[in-house]
Structure 1
Amino acid sequence: MTACAIEGGSAGAAATAEPEAESGTEPDPKGSGAEPGPEEYGAEPEPEGSGDPGKPVGADVPGLPGSTADEDGPEASSTAGGPAAPADDGPLPGGFTLTADGAYAARLTAAPGPPGERAWYPERWTLDGPEPYAVPLPLGQPEEPDTQVAPLADGRVLILRQVADRQMFSLLYPTGPGTGELLLGAVACAGMTLLPPSPDGRCVYALSAGEHSSSLWLVAGGAFGPEEVARIPGHCSGGAWLDRAGRMLALDRRAPGGGPVKAVAVDLGRGAEVTPLLQIAPGSDDRLLLADADSGLLLIRSDAPGHDRLGWGVLGSCLPVRFPECLRLADVAVTPFAVQPGQMLMPESCAVALRIDGAAGSWVGVWRPAGRRLHQFAAPLGWAPGAGYWSRDGVLRLPYANRATSCGVALLDAPQDVEPSSVTGRPGDAEGGTQPSAAISAPAACKPVPLGQAPLHRAARSD
């Protein structure tokens, strides 16, 4: 397992299964005491490594998360939920957002300065060329730390500013030595949240959530500025795309008057029709965290097993949601942020990147549903936690910035737990005889049905 760095300038509910008791589960992240090579940001721990639970891999190595870097060397300067910090390690504003294809990214950053006196400005990263590079997009006055940004596939950056009780939208783009700005309009409301950029690369949606109803707005890519496209009863949050066309959007919704949170699908091609997506148990909170349009793999968080667990299912499958034991770590939070694309009809073979947050910092996990094992890696210095994207051939790209590198991408090859068959797409018995899960060894005659009709238990066969 190696990692290197590039440096440069309709739907419905899923059923539940008993949590998987999986072989080959790795222990909680622990400091192994072995120092990785200079480029191996993602050096894996030895299975017998000793240390404190919840401590990131390599935490005792200078310059890695949870340690103190040399004064003049590269320094880990990220905190949960934000972009890489400026050189003087001050408080961080919003997050680091990528386009669906990983070609562009945008963040809010600032020049070094005393805390409280920094001049925040947007920055666009270009990631699809031979070397990554960043383009600053400052205007005549600095931005507020709560300003939100999102990149588009044409290289422009959408910016959302809150001015009193109005939400102001503009498109920013580099023009000669300066920054161009195209005003899109404003919406009168107390607050809005930008959703992940649409897979089509040209549209961005925003969510204004109220206690009794939530409004979905098309704020970039429309013909007449910000446009309300749906008003959904209940309080909505989250946001994940279910297809490549940018038509099916999943939101987590709490019905008016209270009750559990359930993921719903919003069909933007049919007048924003809302249908159920997850219904694991009547009283459980079932949230959709991530979806892959190629394979149909869904990453889910639910308390149906008795407490919050990370699980997976397949869109349109008749099999229940699984809750792998290897994703249940003590004293840390595990959140998926990227799924390997291009794995058509092979959801169990998709590599999934996970952000792991503990008391010592943030680091990276890689897991496959068929592999039944969580691999943990130290993150590059200055990684923007939760930011990254996969290539089709299984290379995870992690953007980072630190004192030594203003714009860089660390590359991490996905571990090969199993070798999928080129004929059936089912995993073999690699890695010491690892057995396929129950979700993989389903009867061939099992007919896929919408998730909303998925049975809680498979009916017993009578021969």
Structure 2
Amino acid sequence: MTACAIETAAEDGDHEGMPVRPPGGFAITANGAYAARLAGSGDALYAERWTLDGPEPYAVPLPLDQPEEPDARLVPLADGRVLVCRAVDGRRHTFSLLYPTGPGTGELQLGAVEAPGPGPVVLLPPSPDRSCAYAMHAGPEVTVVWLVAGGAFGPERVAEVPGHCAGGVWLDRTGRMLALDRRLGDGPVKTVAVDLERGGEVSPLLQITETSDDRLLLADPDSGLLLIRSDAPSPGHERLGWGVLGSLLPVRFPECLRLDDAAVTPFAVQPGQVLMPESCGVALRIDAAGGSWVGLWRPSGRRMHQVAAPPGWLAGAGAWSAEGVLRLPCSTPELPCALAGLTVPEEPEPLVEVEREAAPAEAPEGERPRVCRPVPLQQAPLTDRRPAG
């Protein structure tokens, strides 16, 4: 199914105060093969695994003797098992792997962690290395990251990051570099890169201005495309922007990503576009008083295309194929497990002139072009600042 553009009559504007509702607990593996969610209703909740890489999607229920609590968290692994995190007594959290076996559900208990302070232990997004899973607890002064699946001896503390952290975005395909949005004391939020193979070594990743709140929402390791939320362009009013990991070019904040009285949140980036960040399809969830729908956009495009959500869309969940098809999971009484496909409509002309203005000057003949640094991106200027010399 190809998406059709829907024009909006509202002028672009700020959406301060609009709630950004999180995805409904539907997590998809990094390779798009499996997904997991809490299914059921009322007091009869259970884990459910979706298989997405076959000819047709199908769901496998994974119930146990006791129903799951509403605050249970799930992450699917690339081998088809589902990791579940359960809060036992407030500060203690247990981890188990669920898998189908015969007519029932098998459970492998992995161990437990004690949260070092108040607040929940949360599962990080599925790791791109396909074999590990991580959990995080953010305290007011320190944030702890555990390897909870894929280790040799149960949950293992792998990082302690000074400050209160949120988010969690993978920066590479190996599951080594993790981006977290960190606040130190009463200072602004800045995204940092955490090296999980070097004891949680922290380095700056995103800083637009010294006082702005800069958060990383999504990153694509293939193209280097970054989706950013920051109040740098207009203090007190956050805007969606995009940049390129390791680039010397400025972060851009397209007007087309601003909507009146609606919250716009990116949730998926098209993979496989190596060194072509402007060509990546980006899926955005649009939330307003009247409900939720889908935005489709490319950095090279002139506008964000808005389309009605398919029936039963699990809002905020979806994954792109490398070929540019956005697959949205849907569940209705008639079709409890289904995928709807959308593509970004073609535009008459790419946004060439603006991109040329922001592009670095061509190197003189016979002179080697400047090579941009890879991760981490330490500065993301608002204007095109290049180092002297």
Question: What's the TM-score, normalizing by structure 1?
Answer: 0.75
Higher relative contact order (CA 8 A, sep 6+): 1
Question: CA offset at residue 282 of structure 1?
Answer: 0.5
Equivalent in the alignment of 2:174 = 245
Give me the whole-angstrom Cα distance separating, in 2, the residues matched to 1:216 and 1:439.
42
Alignment RMSD, CA only? 2.3
Describe the shift of the 1:281–1:455 C-alpha distance in structure 2 as closer, same or farther (beyond 3 A): closer
Which residue, out of 189, 194, 200, partners 2:123?
A: 194
**For residue 210 of structure 2, what is the aligned residue in structure 1?**
282
Q: How far apart, CA to CA, are the structure 1 residues paired with 2:354 and 2:37? A: 41
Q: Does 1:81 align with 2:19?
A: no
For 1:451, give the aligned amino acid.
L
Residues 318-333 of structure 1: pairs in structure 2 closer than 5 A? 318-333=248-263
Equivalent residue for 2:312? 382
- Picking from 77, 83, 107, the partner of 1:181 is 107
Partner of 2:29: 99
Counterpart of 1:152 in structure 2 is 77
The Cα shift of 1:188 comes to: 1.5
Residue number in structure 1 paired with 2:5: 44
Question: Cα 1:197–1:314, aligned 2, differ >3 Å: closer, same or farther?
Answer: same
Deviation string for 1:68-106 (max 9, x for gaps)? xxxxxxxxxxx94343xxxxxxxxxxx100000110000
Contact map agreement 2:12 2:259 (CA 8 A) in 1: no
* Alignment check: 8 A CA contact 1:348 1:440 kept: no
In the alignment, is the contact (CA less than 8 A) between 1:370 and 1:436 conserved in 2? no
CA contact (8 A) 1:193 1:206 kept: yes
Cα deviation 1:35-90 (Å, max 9, x = unaligned): xxxxxxx4432x4x769999xxxxxxxxxxxxxxxxxxxxxxxx94343xxxxxxx
In the aligned structure 2, how far is the partner of 1:343 from the partner of 1:440?
20
User: What is the alpha-carbon distance in structure 1 between the residues aligned to residue 351 and residue 295 of structure 2?
Assistant: 22
Return the offset for 1:269.
2.2
CA distance in 2, matches of 1:460, 1:166: 49
Please, which of 215, 219, 229 is the counterpart of residue 301 of structure 1?
229
Correspondence 1:306-385 to 2 at 5 A = 306=234, 307-385=237-315
Pairing 1:265–2:193 present? yes
Distance 1:372 1:188, change over 3 A: same
Identical amino acids, percent of aligned pairs: 64
Distance in 2 (alpha carbons) for counterparts of 1:138 and 1:461: 58
**Alignment partner, residue 415 of structure 1:** 345
Q: Is 1:173–1:180's contact at 8 Å kept on the other side of the alignment?
A: yes
- Alignment CA distance shift 1:378-1:233 (3 Å): same
CA distance in 1 between partners of 2:240 and 2:31 (Å): 25
Out of 124, 127, 137, the residue aligned to residue 208 of structure 1 is 137
Residue from 161, 164, 169 that aligns with 2:95: 169
Looking at structure 1, the residues matched to 163 and 205 of structure 2 have their Cα atoms a distance apart, in angstroms, of: 15
Aligned match of 2:372 in 437, 444, 448?
A: 448
Counterpart position of 1:236: 165
Q: From the superposition, tell whether residues 311 and 179 of structure 1 become closer, same or farther in structure 2 (CA, over 3 Å).
A: same
Distance 2:216 2:129 in 1: 21
Contact persistence 2:251–2:380 (CA under 8 A): no
- Amino acid in structure 1 at the alignment position of 2:57: P
| More strand per residue | 2
Q: Identify which of 114, 121, 127 aligns with 2:52.
A: 127
Provide the C-alpha distance between the structure 2 equivalents of 1:134 and 1:441, rounded to a whole number of angstroms: 47
CA shift digits 1:223-271 (9 cap, x unpaired): 111111011110011000001111110000001x221010000011222
Verify: 1:221 aligned to 2:147, yes or no.
no
Find the partner of 2:38 among 97, 108, 122: 108
Q: TM-score, normalised by structure 2?
A: 0.89
How many Å apart are 1:386 and its aligned residue?
A: 1.2
2:17 alignment partner in structure 1:
none
Q: How much does 1:109 deviate?
A: 1.2
1:118 aligns to 2:43 (yes or no): yes
Q: Among 325, 335, 338, which residue is 1:395 paired with? A: 325
Q: SS where residue 250 of structure 2 aligns?
A: coil
Aligned to 1:281, the other structure's residue is in SS state: coil
Deviations 1:94-130 (A, max 9, x none): x10000011000000114xxxxx43011000000000
For 1:44, give the aligned amino acid: A
Contact 2:85 2:95 in 1 (8 A): yes
CA positional deviation for 1:448: 1.8
C-alpha displacement at 1:456, in angstroms? Answer: 5.3
AA aligned to 1:265 is: A
Q: What are the ranges of 5 or more consecutive residues in structure 2 without an aligned counterpart?
A: 14-19, 364-369
- SS of the aligned residue for 2:378 comes to helix
When residues 135 and 440 of structure 1 are mapped into structure 2, their CA distance, relative to the original with a 3 A threshold, is: farther
Pairwise CA distance, 1:272: 1.7
Partners of 1:145 and 1:129 in 2: CA distance = 29
Structure 1 residues 138 and 53, CA gap change in structure 2 (3 angstroms): farther
| CA spacing shift, 1:139–1:309, aligned 2, 3 Å | same
Query: What letter corresponds to residue 372 of structure 2 in structure 1?
Result: P
The alignment covers a number of residue pairs equal to 368
**Per the alignment, do residues 297 and 51 of structure 1 end up closer, same or farther by CA in structure 2, a change over 3 Å counting?**
closer
Q: CA deviation at 1:302?
A: 0.4
What letter is aligned with 1:263?
A: T
Give per-residue Cα distances to partners, 1:290-313, cap 9 Å, x unaligned: 000000000000011112000000
Q: Deviations over 1:125-182 (max 9, x none)?
A: 0000000000000000111101000000000000000010210100000001100000
Shift of 1:460: 9.2
The structure-2 alpha-carbon separation of the partners of 1:369 and 1:185, relative to structure 1 and needing over 3 Å to count, comes to same
Instruction: Look up the equivalent residue of 2:214 and give its one-letter code.
Output: D
2:93 counterpart letter in structure 1: Q
